[in-house]
Chain A
Amino acid sequence: MTNDKALILRLQNQDENAFSDVYDYYSDALYGVILRMCKDEEISQNLLQDTFMTIWDKAHSYDFEKGRFYTWAYRIAKNKALNFLRKPDDLIQAEDLSVYENRQEEEKASIDVLKLNGNIKNLEPHHQEAIKLVYYNGLTHREAHEEMDVPLGTFKSYIKQALKILQQSYLKFISFWAILIELTK
């Protein structure tokens, strides 16, 4: 994980090597988002490419003051995927959440790679589900709380709690490495 300001500044100056580094750093994370949303490898690869072309073209409009670079790139990728999913062909499926869910269940079984890994697995199932819906299915809070059939406020607290737990586990992870590094000295 990086928020290397110098790297991003070079990217903003249309430095191709910086672009290459930024791609190496974030492409797999963004591909994970796009593929979980679209569930089609070819389409997702095209959308990933499209996302990075936009990152290259619009890098100058990224503002350090408004958040982390990855957050900015994630929003671009998510919008590309949502635009694709909301095309007329997919409108019926996207609007009918039950169909959406059925499709997900089907594909979840067939594509093992889409399973979530890492610290999210330590969360309680409803926290995992909440995070998955807003982050990997591209639903808004409003859509997701209906999907989970809990009040919006409850849903928001799920997200908050889930993030808190994730954050703590990351902190534990960092302190574990810090201790390990101390020990090896």
Chain B
Amino acid sequence: MDQVQILNSGILEQYVLGELNMSERQRIESAISQFPELRSALEEIEISFEKLALENAITAPSSVKAHLLENIQQADAKTPVVENSFIKNNYLNIAASAAAILCVACIYLYTQLNSSSSALEMADKQNEELKGDFEDLNEQLVETNKWFSTVNDPDTEKYVLKGNALSPTAVVIGYVNNIKRTVWVNTEQLPQLDDEHDYQMWADVDGAMVDMGVIGKSGNMIALDYKNNATSLNVTIEPAGGNDHPTVSQLVTTIFLR
């Protein structure tokens, strides 16, 4: 749009009245900065409207001005103070927040540390217990393996010693290996004795009863001492801890070896 077009189009009037959009406004503004003629035409329009407005002024109540002056003075007086205290408060708030966060974090970490160390302690204890259990089981396994291999050995002879009238329910199973010279007995079916008595096993060697060992109250498979040239196995009830000589009246069972 050239100068003449702008002058004739009535767009300057619309510009003064604020009816134009951003791009139209920018076009007019660049045109008036380029062409003094447009500039003075614009000013004539502005002055006409301004005159019109002044001629048609309506007196506003003085309270409006009083209110405005109060507002801007208050804003003036308040602004720096408000800003300062705001900034100061802000810093204080930030510092306080940071401290609070640190505090909470410390407490949290401390409790975490405590609980982890107690958890660690517990795990250690459990580990220890498990280790003990494992060792026990291992021992048992070694033991079990031992008698298992003995029992399964083709050279092992199995003897079932049945209780006599004194202890009719008693059964002792003996495993004797004359090649490897081992004796194992399964005492699972021996009736329980009181604390003051134990079962004891004897071998008949050349007519004499030779001590093979006390059958302990714990465990079902027990290894006893192997005796050369034994002709029979005998179980007696003896005072707790065993006896040097068998109490024959307390003989529970006997079996002759092959």
Contacts and interface: CB of A to CB of B under 8 A. Distances in A.
Given A19-B72, A53-B71, A141-B14, A117 B47 contact: no
Contact of B68 (A32, A36, A52): A52
Give the most central of B48, B60, B67: most A CB within 10 Å: B60
Contacts of B88: none
Interface in A131-149: 131, 134-136, 140-141
B53 A32 contact: yes
Given A75-B18, A135-B17, A28 B58 contact: yes
A170 B18 contact: no
B57 A45 contact: no
Contact of A170 (B47, B60, B65): B47
B72 A163 contact: no
B51 A166 contact: yes
B50 A1 contact: yes
Nearest to A49: B64
Which 8 pairs between the two chains have the least Cβ-Cβ distance? A118-B55, A28-B57, A156-B10, A75-B18, A29-B53, A31-B60, A32-B58, A68-B46
Interface of A: 1, 14, 16, 19-20, 23-24, 27-33, 35-36, 45, 48-49, 52-53, 56, 65-68, 70-71, 74-75, 78-79, 113, 116-120, 131, 134-136, 140-141, 156-157, 159-160, 163, 166-167, 170
27 contacts: A1-B50, A14-B76, A16-B72, A19-B68, A23-B65, A24-B65, A29-B50, A29-B53, A29-B56, A31-B58, A33-B53, A45-B64, A48-B60, A48-B64, A49-B67, A52-B68, A65-B32, A67-B46, A70-B50, A71-B46, A78-B17, A117-B56, A134-B17, A135-B17, A156-B10, A166-B51, A167-B48
